[in-house]
């Protein structure tokens, strides 16, 4: 069961600035991630490209588990950037549960949202599924705690 989503705190113009800065980050580009905000409070990470080095999970054409963890990290940071007017949000804790191989035969998306937010930190949850398959089947689920860097 999905917890309620906390709407983004930032106005649309700040969300656009946060998103542009996030997508310009070297590590985001290196992994081939592309971030987007979805109202009222969801962050979406898709693959703009899927290089061969990102595959190999389970000895198949699946996304590597470390890449999945990095995708969740990116999604949670992006969700946090919608909550805090700070240039950097960091992940304090990340827990990933792998439910099935994330086969790369169709476009995949990490979706994350904040479920509880305070001044100094937020709790978030998310899932990895084929693009547009919010109800499932989820290939992995995750939770995190993120905070603005001070």
In this predicted model, what pLDDT tens digit does every residue of 12-50 receive, in sequence order?
999 999 999 999 999 999 999 999 999 899 999 999 988
Residue 2 lies in a domain: no
**N-to-C CA span, the chain:** 33
Residue 68 lies in a domain: yes
Please return the burial class of 20, using the count of CB atoms within 10 Å of its CB with bins 0-12, 13-18 and 19+: exposed
Residue 3 lies in a domain: no
What whole-number distance in Å separates Cα of residue 69 and Cα of residue 60?
18
Could you give phi then psi for residue 113, rounded to 5 degrees?
A: -150, 150
Residue 108 lies in a domain: yes
CATH code of the domain covering residue 76: 3.10.129.10
What domain range includes position 55? 12-148
Residue 80 lies in a domain: yes
**Number of structural domains the chain divides into:** 1
Residue 4 lies in a domain: no
Q: What's the DSSP call for residue 57?
A: G
Q: What is the pLDDT along the chain (150 residues), one digit of tens a residue?
A: 467 899 999 999 999 999 999 999 999 999 999 999 998 999 999 999 887 778 876 667 889 999 999 999 999 999 999 999 999 999 999 999 999 999 888 899 999 999 999 999 999 999 999 998 777 789 999 999 999 997
Residue 137 lies in a domain: yes
Residue 6 lies in a domain: no
């Amino acid at each position: 069961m999905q917890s309620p989503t906390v709407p983004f705190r930032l106005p649309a113009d700040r969300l656009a600035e946060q998103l542009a800065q996030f997508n310009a980050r070297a590590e985001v580009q290196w992994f081939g991630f592309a971030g987007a905000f979805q109202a009222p409070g969801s962050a979406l990470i898709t693959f703009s490209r899927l290089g061969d080095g990102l595959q190999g999970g389970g000895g198949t054409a699946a996304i590597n588990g470390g890449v999945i963890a990095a995708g969740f990290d990116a999604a949670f940071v992006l969700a946090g950037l919608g909550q805090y007017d700070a240039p950097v949000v960091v992940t304090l804790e990340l827990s990933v549960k792998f439910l099935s191989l994330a086969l790369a035969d169709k476009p995949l998306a990490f979706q994350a949202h904040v479920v509880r937010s305070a001044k100094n930190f937020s709790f978030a949850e998310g899932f990895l599924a084929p693009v547009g398959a919010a109800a499932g089947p989820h290939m992995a689920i995750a939770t995190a705690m993120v905070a603005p860097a001070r």
